[in-house]
Amino acid sequence: MPMQLGRMLKRQYTADANQLSDQLGATDYPPLIVQNLSKQYKGGVWANREISLTGNSGEILGILGPNGAGKTTLVRQITTELLPSSGSIHVMGLDVVREPNRVKSQLGVVPQEATLFDYLSVYQHLKIFAKLRGVKPRESGSVAERLIQELELSAHRDIEVRKLSGGLKRRVLLGIASVGRPSVMVLDEPTTGLDPQSRQNLWSLLRRARESGAFILLTTHSMEEAEALCDRVGIIQDGKVLALDTVANLRANHSFQFKVTYFVNDSAGEPITLLGSDDQELVAKMKEMGIRQFSLGSTSLEDAYLDMTGGLEGLDGSDG
């Protein structure tokens, strides 16, 4: 590895022993505290407005919203890439503005857009970053091999990353973020470009990280991902958090808790959905209308999202 590359990696990702020792005292704090966070860009555009949230150990917190909602701006402030206009962020008790290097040592990050080192193999990436995240040199190889197995990258172990597909590169980035078992992981749409099986494998890895006590902040476009993976979901639009709760509570707090879906004259085509607060009333409505075939169920996260935002533009509708 060229000396210049080594120095660059070291500057970005290492923390000396004194820093790591100091951070042990921060473990009594919640993994993430965001208070009244706002970000205004030049020209007066507000990307985030008065966002407040707290992350808990052993939790996956999903941030759901369309393109332009302010999700990536929120992530970039948490990871110290952007300075807030106002408000505060603390990671493991550390102020991200005042102590950015110490914060970085606590984070595992998968940005929405990231550049890997074209001529390094998958194994080389994971082994190098394992060392830089504090894994003992003699153990870095086994850590890299474990991550390669978990991410199902064995067939690509010795391939230069420039030859990998976009989805495979996302897996490598997740492996890098997982190295050293960070206390806080921040993932900006990590399943972008992944096929369904690869996405399931990635979910399994994140669940294991959660079980080990990590806090994971996950931005996503996918309703399916939010419902299947997240302990709580924040719905964000126009830079504001409209709601933040468990999926079950978001459904329960929805104006209507039940829905019935049917087709006109039992024919194919676009289904019609009616919402209601009482399932028996919906069944009675179907009988009054002479509808013989219909499906009845609880409203979904998508229904709650629609109620709060008024549309699904910019979301992955196929995952609904």
Output the DSSP codes for 59-105: EEEEEE--TTSSHHHHHHHHTTSS--SEEEEEETTEETTT-HHHHHH
pLDDT band for 111, please (50, 70, 90 cuts).
confident
Class of domain 3-246: alpha beta
Cβ atoms 62, 224 nearer than 8 A = no
68: left (phi over 0), alpha (psi -120 to 50) or beta: left
Going by C-beta distance under 8 Å and a sequence separation of 6 or more, which residues neighbour residue 300?
223, 227, 251, 320
Q: Please state, for a pLDDT cut of 70, what percent of the chain lies above it.
A: 86
Does 21 score more than 70 pLDDT?
no
Tell me the HSE value of 311 on the side-chain side, using a 13 A CA sphere: 6
User: Which of the pair, 94 or 202, is modelled with greater confidence?
Assistant: 94
pLDDT at 7: 52
pLDDT at 138: 92
pLDDT at 22: 45
User: Which of the pair, 306 or 104, is modelled with greater confidence?
Assistant: 104
User: Which of the pair, 3 or 224, is modelled with greater confidence?
Assistant: 224
Residue type, 255: S
The residue among 5, 139, 32 whose CA lies nearest residue 93 is 32
Q: What are the sequence ranges of the domains in the chain? A: 3-246, 251-319
Pick the most confident of 183-192, 245-254, 274-283, 310-319: 183-192
User: Which of the pair, 202 or 82, is modelled with greater confidence?
Assistant: 82
Residues pairing with 218 in the sheet: 62, 187
